[in-house]
C-alpha cells in the first residue's frame, strides 16, 4: 500500500497542467483530494474523472490572490477530511515581457498569484499541521527560480521568491520540531496552459519555440508523488526537473 493512501491533499491550480496531473497521480494512489482553482467547470470535470476511476475528490472554487478564500479552502478540507496532510502549492502565472514595456498589471498579477498566493496557502494550512505535528508543504517554483533571463525578469523574481519562502519555511519548521516537511519543485519546460499567459507577441514566439522540447505534466506529478511517499523522517527539499535536452 502506498503511503499516500488516505492522505488529505489540497492542490491549488488543479484545473489544468501540473495541478491536474498531480491530482490524477495522487488519486490513483488513494489520496483524498481537495481540488482548488477558479474554473468550476474544469474542477467538476476532474472530480468526475477521479471518482469514476474509484478515487476520492472534492473541490472548492478558489482564487489564490484572496487570503480569505484560502482560509475557507483549508477550513473546508478540515471539515470534510478532518486533517490536511499535504498542500501542493501549484497555482501560478507566467506572463513574459521586457521591463521597458511596463506591463505593470502583469507584474502585479505575478506577485499576487506566484508570491502572495503561495504565502496565503501556507498560512491557511500551517496552523492545523503544527497542531498535529505533521504535514508536507510542496511549493512549485521553476527553473526560472534558479536562472534569470531577459524578458522573464519579474517572473524569475517571483520564482526566486518561492524558493526563498520554501527554504525559510523549512528552517523554521525544522527548528520548531513540528515534523512538517517542505519540498520546492522547480520544473523546466512542461506542457501546460502556463505558456498562454504571455501576451507579448515577440516573446511568445520565442517561448513557443523553446517549449517544443517540453515534457508532459505527468513527469512533475510523479516527482511530487515521490516526495510525498518518503518516510516521515525524510524530506526531499529540492527537485529540479527539466527535459533531458533543455539547456537553460
Q: Which three cell numbers stand for residue 46?
A: 476532474
Give the active site residue among 59, 120, 149, 155: 155
CB atoms within 10 A of CB 200: 17
Instruction: Quote the pLDDT of residue 197.
Output: 86
Q: Distance between alpha carbon 75 and the CA centroid of its chain, in Å?
A: 19
Task: Say what the pLDDT of residue 22 is.
Answer: 98
Q: For 193, which DSSP code?
A: G
Q: What is the DSSP secondary structure assignment for residue 105, as one 8-state letter?
A: H
* pLDDT averages per 10-residue partition of the chain, 248 residues: 91 98 98 98 98 97 98 98 98 96 97 98 98 98 97 97 98 98 98 86 89 96 98 97 95
- The reply to whether 155 belongs to the active site is yes
CATH homologous superfamily for the domain 8-238: NAD(P)-binding Rossmann-like Domain (3.40.50.720)
Strands 135-140 and 180-187: parallel
pTM: 0.96
**Residue 114 in grid coordinates:** 506566484
Amino acid at each position: 500500500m502506498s503511503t499516500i493512501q488516505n492522505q488529505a491533499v489540497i492542490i491549488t491550480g488543479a484545473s489544468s497542467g501540473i495541478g491536474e496531473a498531480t491530482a490524477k497521480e495522487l488519486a490513483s494512489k488513494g489520496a483524498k483530494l481537495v481540488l482548488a482553482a477558479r474554473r468550476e467547470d474544469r474542477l467538476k470535470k476532474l472530480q468526475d474523472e477521479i471518482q469514476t476511476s474509484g478515487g476520492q475528490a472534492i473541490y472548492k472554487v478558489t482564487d489564490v490572490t484572496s487570503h480569505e478564500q484560502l482560509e475557507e479552502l483549508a477550513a473546508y478540507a478540515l471539515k470534510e477530511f478532518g486533517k490536511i496532510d499535504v498542500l501542493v502549492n501549484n497555482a501560478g502565472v507566467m506572463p513574459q515581457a521586457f521591463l521597458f514595456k511596463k506591463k505593470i498589471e502583469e507584474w502585479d498579477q505575478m506577485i499576487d498569484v506566484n508570491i502572495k498566493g503561495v504565502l496565503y496557502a501556507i498560512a491557511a494550512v500551517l496552523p492545523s499541521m503544527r497542531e498535529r505535528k505533521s504535514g508536507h508543504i510542496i511549493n512549485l517554483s521553476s527553473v526560472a527560480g534558479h536562472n534569470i533571463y531577459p524578458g522573464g525578469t519579474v517572473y524569475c523574481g517571483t520564482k526566486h521568491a518561492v524558493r526563498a519562502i520554501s527554504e525559510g519555511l523549512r528552517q523554521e519548521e525544522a527548528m520548531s520540531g513540528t515534523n512538517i516537511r517542505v519540498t520546492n519543485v522547480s520544473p523546466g519546460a512542461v506542457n501546460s496552459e502556463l505558456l498562454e499567459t504571455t501576451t507579448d507577441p515577440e516573446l511568445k514566439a520565442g517561448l513557443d519555440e523553446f517549449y517544443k522540447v517540453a515534457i508532459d505534466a505527468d513527469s512533475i506529478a510523479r516527482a511530487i508523488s515521490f516526495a510525498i511517499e518518503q518516510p516521515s523522517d525524510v524530506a526531499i527539499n529540492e527537485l529540479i526537473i527539466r527535459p533531458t535536452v533543455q539547456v537553460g
